């Protein structure tokens, strides 16, 4: 065991040195004795040095505060007596002594007009910078007391109506700072050291961690084992008795990006829960062959770095033997010989069908093995039940009951990148391209690629037409696009595309039609296995990891009577479904297609698939066909971007405008945000041709800034709303957009022009908008940050023994750092919700040192530390790197890395593009639905009630919560679910993801 005292001592010495560099001209308090005289020209500093040299908390020290006028003298006495709950022990004419059982403080009067004026000037400067600066950064020193109850100190200040700054949050302050009447910065803290920042909420109880909030991972993670097990312990962990569980994982069927992340999560979660972890090499073939060569026990380090690797490192192969009972009998024997209790299979519907059949036959297989003498009666009793769980790894996304399969969005990313590249050369030559993508029985890839790249036409197996019909439809839409000035034509064909007589439609068939009937210069591109290759995108890494954790939970919680579960995702929530039911529904789609029952096939697809298909057809037709709505129902709908740029903003604008055109509405764009409207009347009607290419562009084509309506001139904004007679408004943006919607809704009473349906689509990489668990731009930012970290990690691994401290954006939100940590396997992530305590930092350095010393040779991979910009104002990435290098004592070195605005991403990811389309069309639908409600409110101005719930609900945030897409009233969310000062929701929905990320890297939390 390490000497924690000596480490801590040197640690504090190093921190003191770094703080002296940060704050020059600091007085040398180490030379001061138990009684110190502080003047206003030198405000009081007792933080690190106080902890070491002047322990105010032990009751033996005194400090003196000097006032320079009678008024400030008496005010200072009253301030300290109430703030720190000190009692007046004695008072002379120019001196008052205050104390409690731990602290003694003397307030002294020395009348001096010049010094009094200087203290007043400093007091004014500090109070005026309450909202704009950290008081500790404006003074050289500050007095900090150790407090038992910071909340009570806060209440004392509020009773005095005194200003204060709380860290990390106002809700659960661990540090609290105020300015005394003399102009000194005075603080109280729960921590042992004043510069630390502990978690914002009471710590979770020992044992299991369960999020109380809706989360993308509804898993219960038992951290007891992980918390007490060091890296070296995990490498040499022995079975804890004969009843220790053994969990095996295998990948089967076609490979998919993200499978390695899934295996890594399963192996490490099993180990952290005290189980033995096994991998079955080469899929079902490994089960049939058996032996230690094919069924291997894995330890913690065996899967290090797997998250960033493509394909499947444990192999996959098709096995004809396993389709026969004799093969399954061998598989059962080999699992028992290895001592495996549970099996997790990552694969497609065929692989999962085999897994469920294997479980259903398990009792009879064991009986046969016992009767033939191949296993003993003890083994028969011990392994009588086999728990099986499925995680879906398939690029086709063809599994029913789940919104996404592992690898599907990585494949879609490859397709969209390829089409983006093709679009450039097509535009240069005014060509048509026919792009063939994978999807034998499922057109999901072709459909989503069509939406994400604004393809002219798609051909998928779920919605076939006669040979004549599809040719006519395709030529009609392509002709209309070309006649309106479009120079490119993109047709996406799924490999399983068919006509309604089941005749296959090949890319060459499409090529022939485009050439013969339209005379277009046409090329065919078959992407092939490029779609399977490469590393997984961030979404697939995170999905695979969360599903792997949940799979281990599922097999450990399963009983002999529990149906085999399949781990799925619905919207933003990890769920468990019946494996056999999911497989049955999936096979039913293919059977319905082969039976030419296409209506049934479509009905068996998830509602989201049908929704996307309808959206594609509506957006693709734009103003080329007669409007769907009658004249009296057509509206004027405006859209505005507010906040920082984020991936998917342009997709939302494009989709909103084109869908409005297909409905018959007239779409308007407010350029350059509220300031553009108030100053320049920057309102333009959107037309189809001018928006070509917007779907795949980053940034904001209509401009954006952070100005809110009240800052821009809300009266002028109301005037222009009235002038253009808008019937609805869509706001796309981050927290400033959220505040904008709140201001417009509250202004309805005074400005009738705002009495229209208004919808906010959250778009910010911080993902800090209350009312949703997902914001446009977060996926693009995660991919950009992940790519950056992968490159940095490669550099660190090449030089051996190097760790990089990466600076992560996100404001006061730790979402980006938390999820990036999960995606890249970062050893540590620091977020504003928790802050950086010296105790935790010391523990993290020790864990890193141990990890580097344990790994040998090639396996000494580089490591990453992710630090949110607002996690600490003192510990910058540069300071953190220096601290870690110094404390590592030669075990490793640390460097800082600043990706900066690279994190805002380049081209939006397919997820942000397609979700932007989906949310924008839902928002337009909501505006249409609320017209009747708002019409009643506008009919009688005198009877308008802004507090009516039905009316206030017409200003809503469109968000994803758990497994649902919901519209939430802005008034409800702003008033009850928002921490406005911190620009954050009160409930942190990614809380459980942090526990998973820490558990999977063996991080020990203090």
Residue 233's pLDDT is 40
On whether 809 is known to bind a ligand per the annotation, the reply is yes
Q: Quick count: other Cβ atoms within 10 Å of Cβ 966?
A: 14
Residue 948's pLDDT is 87
What angle, rounded to 10 degrees, do the helices at 910-929 and 444-452 form? 80
Which range among 159-173, 282-296, 979-993 shows the weakest confidence by mean pLDDT? 159-173
Q: Can you tell me which residue has the tokens 């010094």? A: 115
On whether 666 is known to bind a ligand per the annotation, the reply is no
On whether 901 is known to bind a ligand per the annotation, the reply is yes
Mean pLDDT of 473-495: 95
In tens, the pLDDT along 907-917 reads 999 999 999 99
Q: Where are the alpha helices (DSSP H) in 192-320?
A: 224-228, 231-235, 259-272, 283-289
On whether 530 is known to bind a ligand per the annotation, the reply is yes
The whole-chain average pLDDT of the chain stands at 85
Between 942 and 425, residue with greater pLDDT: 425
On whether 63 is known to bind a ligand per the annotation, the reply is no
Instruction: Determine the Cα–Cα distance for residues 777 and 908; give it in Å rounded to an integer.
Output: 7
Q: How far is CA 797 from CA 268, 746, 808, 931, in A?
A: 21, 55, 21, 59
In tens, the pLDDT along 649-678 reads 999 999 999 999 999 999 999 999 999 999
Q: Can you tell me which residue has the tokens 């290419």? A: 693
8 Å CB contact between 527 and 316: no
On whether 636 is known to bind a ligand per the annotation, the reply is no
Q: Which helix (H) or strand (E) segment is 957 a member of?
A: strand 955-961
In tens, the pLDDT along 698-709 reads 999 999 999 999
On whether 895 is known to bind a ligand per the annotation, the reply is yes
Residue 1's pLDDT is 36
Which range among 147-156, 577-586, 626-635 shows the weakest confidence by mean pLDDT? 147-156
- Is 3.40.630.10 the CATH number for 408-531? no
In tens, the pLDDT along 395-411 reads 999 898 999 999 999 99
On whether 106 is known to bind a ligand per the annotation, the reply is no
Topology alike, domains 244-404+537-577 and 408-531: yes
On whether 983 is known to bind a ligand per the annotation, the reply is yes
- The answer on pLDDT for 29 being more than 60 is no
On whether 40 is known to bind a ligand per the annotation, the reply is no
On whether 596 is known to bind a ligand per the annotation, the reply is no
Residue 806's pLDDT is 95
- The answer on pLDDT for 539 being more than 70 is yes
In tens, the pLDDT along 445-480 reads 999 999 999 999 999 999 998 889 999 999 999 999
On whether 742 is known to bind a ligand per the annotation, the reply is no
In tens, the pLDDT along 352-365 reads 989 989 999 999 99
Q: Where are the alpha helices (DSSP H) in 535-597?
A: 538-557, 579-594
On whether 979 is known to bind a ligand per the annotation, the reply is no
Between 168 and 614, residue with greater pLDDT: 614
Q: Which two tokens stand for residue 63?
A: 């400090």
- DSSP sequence for 358-382: HHHHHHHHHHHHHHTTSS-HHHHHH
Instruction: Determine the Cα–Cα distance for residues 128 and 122; give it in Å rounded to an integer.
Output: 10
On whether 531 is known to bind a ligand per the annotation, the reply is yes
On whether 431 is known to bind a ligand per the annotation, the reply is yes
Nearest to 483 by CA among 462, 463, 456: 456
Residue 89's pLDDT is 77
Could you tell me the pLDDT band of residue 719, with boundaries at 50, 70 and 90?
very high
Residue 851's pLDDT is 81
> 174: which DSSP letter?
S
Could you tell me the pLDDT band of residue 796, with boundaries at 50, 70 and 90?
confident
- DSSP sequence for 937-954: HHH-GGG--TT-HHHHTT
Q: How far is CA 497 from CA 306, 429, 586, in A?
A: 35, 28, 17
Residue 663's pLDDT is 96
Identify the burial level of 529 via C-beta atoms within 10 angstroms of its C-beta, where 0-12 means exposed, 13-18 middle and 19 or more buried: exposed
In tens, the pLDDT along 605-652 reads 878 899 999 999 999 989 888 999 999 999 999 999 999 999 999 999
- The answer on pLDDT for 231 being more than 60 is no
Q: What is the CATH number of domain 622-776+908-987?
A: 3.40.50.450
Residue 243's pLDDT is 63
Composition of the chain by helix, strand, coil, percent to 5: 45, 20, 35
Mean pLDDT of 254-273: 95
- The answer on pLDDT for 215 being more than 50 is no
8 Å CB contact between 553 and 219: yes
> 219: which DSSP letter?
-
Longest dimension (CA), the chain: 106
Mean pLDDT of 785-797: 87
Omega within 30 of 0 (cis) for the link into 168? yes
Which range among 152-166, 614-628, 826-840 shows the weakest confidence by mean pLDDT? 152-166
On whether 922 is known to bind a ligand per the annotation, the reply is no
Q: Percent of the chain having pLDDT more than 90?
A: 60
On whether 682 is known to bind a ligand per the annotation, the reply is no
- The answer on pLDDT for 199 being more than 80 is no
Query: Which CATH class name applies to 244-404+537-577?
Result: alpha beta
Q: Percent of the chain having pLDDT more than 70?
A: 87
- The answer on pLDDT for 941 being more than 80 is no
On whether 811 is known to bind a ligand per the annotation, the reply is yes
Residue 18's pLDDT is 53
Residue 490's pLDDT is 97
- The answer on pLDDT for 920 being more than 50 is yes
On whether 903 is known to bind a ligand per the annotation, the reply is yes
On whether 766 is known to bind a ligand per the annotation, the reply is yes
Residue 937's pLDDT is 72
Q: How far is CA 918 from CA 619, 651, 912, in A?
A: 11, 10, 10
- Beta-strand pair 955-961/758-762: parallel
On whether 768 is known to bind a ligand per the annotation, the reply is yes
Residue 64's pLDDT is 83
Instruction: Determine the Cα–Cα distance for residues 380 and 388; give it in Å rounded to an integer.
Output: 18
Catalytic residue among 180, 302, 396, 509: 396
Nearest to 958 by CA among 816, 775, 780, 813: 775
Residue 166's pLDDT is 85
On whether 989 is known to bind a ligand per the annotation, the reply is no
Q: Parse the chain into domains and list their residue ranges.
A: 24-189, 244-404+537-577, 408-531, 622-776+908-987, 781-904
8 Å CB contact between 306 and 263: yes
Prediction pTM value: 0.78
Between 215 and 598, residue with greater pLDDT: 598
Superfamily of domain 781-904 in the CATH hierarchy: Phosphofructokinase domain (3.40.50.460)
Q: How far is CA 5 from CA 8, 48, 340, in A?
A: 5, 16, 44
Which range among 127-136, 481-490, 920-929 shows the weakest confidence by mean pLDDT? 127-136
On whether 439 is known to bind a ligand per the annotation, the reply is yes
On whether 348 is known to bind a ligand per the annotation, the reply is yes
Query: Which CATH class name applies to 24-189?
Result: alpha beta
Indicate if 222 belongs to the active site. no
- The answer on pLDDT for 208 being more than 50 is no
On whether 495 is known to bind a ligand per the annotation, the reply is yes
Ramachandran quadrant class, 803 (left: phi over 0; alpha: psi -120 to 50; beta: rest) = beta
């Amino acid at each position: 065991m390490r000497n924690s005292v000596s480490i801590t001592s040197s640690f504090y010495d190093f921190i003191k040195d770094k703080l002296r560099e940060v704050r020059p001209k600091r007085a040398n308090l180490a030379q001061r004795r138990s009684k110190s005289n502080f003047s206003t020209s030198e405000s009081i500093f007792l933080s690190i040095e106080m902890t070491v040299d002047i322990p105010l908390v032990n009751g033996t020290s005194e400090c003196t505060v000097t006032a320079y006028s009678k008024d400030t003298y008496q005010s200072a006495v009253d301030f300290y007596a109430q703030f720190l709950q000190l009692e007046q022990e004695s008072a002379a004419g120019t001196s008052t002594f205050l104390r409690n059982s731990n602290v003694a403080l003397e307030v002294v009067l020395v009348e001096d007009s010049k010094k009094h004026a200087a203290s007043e000037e400093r007091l004014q400067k500090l109070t005026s910078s309450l909202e704009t600066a950290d008081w500790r950064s404006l003074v050289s020193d500050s007095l900090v007391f150790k407090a038992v109850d910071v909340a009570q100190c806060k209440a004392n200040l509020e009773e005095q109506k005194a200003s204060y700054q709380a860290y990390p949050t106002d809700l659960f302050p661990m540090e609290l700072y105020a300015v005394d009447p003399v102009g000194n910065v005075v603080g109280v803290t729960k921590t042992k050291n004043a510069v630390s920042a502990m978690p914002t909420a009471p710590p979770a109880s020992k044992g299991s961690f369960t999020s109380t909030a809706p989360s993308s991972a509804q898993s219960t993670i038992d951290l007891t084992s992980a918390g007490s097990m060091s890296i070296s312990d995990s490498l040499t962990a022995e079975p804890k008795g004969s009843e220790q569980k053994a969990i095996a994982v295998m990948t089967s069927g076609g490979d998919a990006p993200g499978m390695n992340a899934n295996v890594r999560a399963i192996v490490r979660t099993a180990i952290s829960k005290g189980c033995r972890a096994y991998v079955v090499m080469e899929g079902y073939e490994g089960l049939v062959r058996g032996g230690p060569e094919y069924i291997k026990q894995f330890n913690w380090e065996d899967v290090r770095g797997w998250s960033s690797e493509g394909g499947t490192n444990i192999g996959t192969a098709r096995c004809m033997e396993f389709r026969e009972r004799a093969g399954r009998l061998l598989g059962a024997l080999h699992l028992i010989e290895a001592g495996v209790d549970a099996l997790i299979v990552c694969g497609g519907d065929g692989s999962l069908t085999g897994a469920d059949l294997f479980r259903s036959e398990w009792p009879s297989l064991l009986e046969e093995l016992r009767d033939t003498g191949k296993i003993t009666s003890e083994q028969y009793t011990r392994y009588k039940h086999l728990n099986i769980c499925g995680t879906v790894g398939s690029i086709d996304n063809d599994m029913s009951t789940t919104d996404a399969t592992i690898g599907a969005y990585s494949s879609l990313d490859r397709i969209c990148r390829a089409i983006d590249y093709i679009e450039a050369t097509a535009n240069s030559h005014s060509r048509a391209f026919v792009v063939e993508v994978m999807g034998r029985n499922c057109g999901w890839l072709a459909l989503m690629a069509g939406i994400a790249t604004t393809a002219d036409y798609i051909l998928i197996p779920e919605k076939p037409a006669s040979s004549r019909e599809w040719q006519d439809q395709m030529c009609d839409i392509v002709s209309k696009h070309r006649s309106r000035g479009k120079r490119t034509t993109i047709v996406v064909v799924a490999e399983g595309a068919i006509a309604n007589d089941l005749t296959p439609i090949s890319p060459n068939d499409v090529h022939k039609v485009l050439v013969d009937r339209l005379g277009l210069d046409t090329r065919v591109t078959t992407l092939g296995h490029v779609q399977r290759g490469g590393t997984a995108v961030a979404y697939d890494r995170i999905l695979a990891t969360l599903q792997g954790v949940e799979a281990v939970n599922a097999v450990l919680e399963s009983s002999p009577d529990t149906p085999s579960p399949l781990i799925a995702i619905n919207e933003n929530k990890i769920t468990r479904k019946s494996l056999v039911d999911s497989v049955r529904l999936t096979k039913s789609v293919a059977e319905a297609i082969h039976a030419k029952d296409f209506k049934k096939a479509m009905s068996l697809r998830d509602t989201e698939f049908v929704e996307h298909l309808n959206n594609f057809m509506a957006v693709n037709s734009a103003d080329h066909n007669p409007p769907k709505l009658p004249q009296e129902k057509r509206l004027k709908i405006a859209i505005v971007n507010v906040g920082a740029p984020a991936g998917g903003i342009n997709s939302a604008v494009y989709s909103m405008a084109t869908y409005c055109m297909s409905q018959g509405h007239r779409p308007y764009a407010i350029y350059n945000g509220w300031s553009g409207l108030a100053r320049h009347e920057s309102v333009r009607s959107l037309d189809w041709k001018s928006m070509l290419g917007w779907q795949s562009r980053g940034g904001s084509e209509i401009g954006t800034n952070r100005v809110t309506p009240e800052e821009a001139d809300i009266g002028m904004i109301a005037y222009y709303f009235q002038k253009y007679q808008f019937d609805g408004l869509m706001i796309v943006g981050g927290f400033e957009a959220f505040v904008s919607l709140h201001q417009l809704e509250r202004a309805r009473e005074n400005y009738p022009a705002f009495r229209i349906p208004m919808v906010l689509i959250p778009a910010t990489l911080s993902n800090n908008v209350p009312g949703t668990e997902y914001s446009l731009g977060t996926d693009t930012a995660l991919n950009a940050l992940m790519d950056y970290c992968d490159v940095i990690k490669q550099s660190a691994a090449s030089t051996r023994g190097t760790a990089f401290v990466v600076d992560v954006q996100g404001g006061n939100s730790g979402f980006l750092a938390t999820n990036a940590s999960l995606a890249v396997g970062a050893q540590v992530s620091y977020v504003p919700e928790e802050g950086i305590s010296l105790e935790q930092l010391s523990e993290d350095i020790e864990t890193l040192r141990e990890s580097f010393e344990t790994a040998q040779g090639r396996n000494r991979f580089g490591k990453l530390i992710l630090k949110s910009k607002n996690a600490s104002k003192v510990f910058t990435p540069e300071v953190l790197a220096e601290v870690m290098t110094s404390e590592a004592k030669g075990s490793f070195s640390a460097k800082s890395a600043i990706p900066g605005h690279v994190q805002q991403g380049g081209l939006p990811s397919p997820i942000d593009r397609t979700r932007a389309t989906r949310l924008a069309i839902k928002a337009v639908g909501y505006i249409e639905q609320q017209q009747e409600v708002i019409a009643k409110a506008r009919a009688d101005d005198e009877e308008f009630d802004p507090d009516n719930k039905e009316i206030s609900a017409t200003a809503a945030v469109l968000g994803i919560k758990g497994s649902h897409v919901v519209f939430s009233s802005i008034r409800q969310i702003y008033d009850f679910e928002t921490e406005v000062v911190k620009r954050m929701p009160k409930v942190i929905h990614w809380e459980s993801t942090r526990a998973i990320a820490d558990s999977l890297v063996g991080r020990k939390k203090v």
